[in-house]
Amino acid sequence: MAQIDLETIKHIDKDRNSIHAKVHTTYTVFEVDGEKYFQLDTYGKSEREMPEKISQTIQFDRKSAKFIVELLKKEFNL
């Protein structure tokens, strides 16, 4: 599991990139101590031994969600 750290996020250029397979994804919205969080969970590919096991989780608080939305708008010219 991971939470976006805005202190360390930066753009990098990679020599090699690839398109990943699409996988089952769910999201959850919850509050802890009055702070709202948005969480994405991705699940293993159907060929995996335990395909319904969560593979990755990423959490956003309000500040990191706003940052990502603005970054996506910029990068995709939305």
Give the E-state strand segments of 1-78 in sequence order: 2-3, 25-32, 35-43, 54-60
The count of structural domains within the chain is: 1
Q: Is residue 2 part of a domain?
A: no
| pLDDT score recorded for residue 19 | 96
Q: Is residue 72 part of a domain?
A: yes
62: enclosing H helix or E strand: helix 62-76
Phi-psi region of 37 (alpha: psi -120 to 50; beta: other; left: phi over 0): beta
* pLDDT (mean) for 1-10: 92
Compute CA distances 26 → 53, 75, 78, whole Å. 12, 24, 24
| pLDDT score recorded for residue 51 | 65
Tens of pLDDT, residue by residue over 28-46, are 999 999 999 999 999 987 7
Tens of pLDDT, residue by residue over 49-74, are 776 789 899 999 999 999 999 999 99
> Do 52 and 43 touch, CB atoms closer than 8 A?
yes
Q: Is residue 30 part of a domain?
A: yes
